[in-house]
Structure 1
Amino acid sequence: MAKKMTQEEWRAFVSYGTRTGKLSTVREDGSPHIAPVWFVLDDDTFVFNTGKGTVKGRNLLRDGRVALCVDDDRPPYSYVVLQGRAEIGEDLEEMLPWATRIAARYMGEERAAAFGRRNAVPGELLVRVTIDKVTSVDGVTH
């Protein structure tokens, strides 16, 4: 039987390995836009980078409401959805350590510095989302 995850369980689930998040933002016409993102948790926030000129970047600058879905696509299937409002920064000195930390998760420590430098450049946004709501289900098909 499916069950709701505890805070400790959902935090471990979304931070496991290289699971990407599927980020939903709000388009100008109110419709959703979904794109995959690399991210890390930081206390009660999740943090990621995106380009200022991308669809998600433009959406976030206009309307900071977001949802991030992280799932396990193998039986018995589990997922977590984090909802919140984005705070956006463009300070490259603040961005570099975050871009490097995110890169370490997805590309490994040996490539983290290079990817961090690649992703902390003018035109990139540092996005920090305060988590307001969590929906988590473990073992959907149990």
Structure 2
Amino acid sequence: MGYTDAPSGWWREFVSATPARTGKLAVVRKDGSPHVSPVWVDLDGSTIVFTTHLESVKGRAIVRDGRISLCLDDETPPFAFVTITGRAEIVDDPEQVRYWTGRIGGRYMGAERANEYAERNGGPGEVVVRIRDAKIVAKVDVAE
């Protein structure tokens, strides 16, 4: 893991906090220009997990160039953030896709809606993305 001025393990609590924070995922388009999009995330141990469709801008960029960066932040003073940079690992197993789309949907929209999100987002072309070889930067009390 990378630099952090936050207490050990703090970044995991920050990423998995309730209410859930939306991540901002950065990828590089084919022409070299940057692309940032919101993603819902969860943790599998110390691994960041999100889902996307392979035909989305981010999906195509991840397939072509697996380097990604993700930022989650707290916009309330004194502010805090976590950035995770690494390589994307794509998992297209339908059971895993359904599991993670349900789990992540339930995390953001309420457990009672998990099955709805698994049905809605767990279809063909959707994949699970895990961030491997992650470098973490975590900072608390930015404006203190």
How does the TM-score come out when normalised to structure 1? Answer: 0.93
**Number of aligned positions between the proteins:** 140
Mapping of 1:91-130 within 5 angstroms? 91-130=93-132
What amino acid is aligned across from residue 7 of structure 1 in structure 2? S
* Runs of at least 5 residues in structure 1 that lack an aligned partner in the other structure: none
- Residue 8 of structure 1 aligns with which residue? 9
Deviations 1:43-67 (A, max 9, x none): 2311111111110010001011011
AA partner of residue 88 (structure 1)? I
Residue 69 of structure 2: which of 67, 70, 85 is its match? Answer: 67
Once the 2 structures are TM-superposed, how far is the Cα of residue 131 of structure 1 from its aligned partner?
Answer: 4.5
In 2, Cα distance between equivalents of 1:131 and 1:46 = 11
Q: Report SS of the residue matched to 2:9.
A: helix
Contact 1:26 1:59 in 2 (8 A): yes
1:50 pairs with 2:56:
no
Gaps of 5+ in 2: none
SS of match in other structure, 1:140: coil
Q: Quick one: structure 1 residues 7 and 116, their matched pair in 2 at CA, closer, same or farther if it must change by over 3 Å?
A: farther
CA RMSD of aligned residues (A): 1.3
Shift of the alpha carbon at 1:141? Answer: 0.5
* SS of match in other structure, 2:134: strand
**What is the SS of the residue equivalent to 1:35?**
strand
Q: Percent identity?
A: 48
TM-score by length of 2: 0.92
Range with bigger deviation, 41-50 or 54-63: 41-50
Q: Is the 8 A contact 1:45 1:131 kept in 2?
A: no
Amino acid at match of 2:16: S
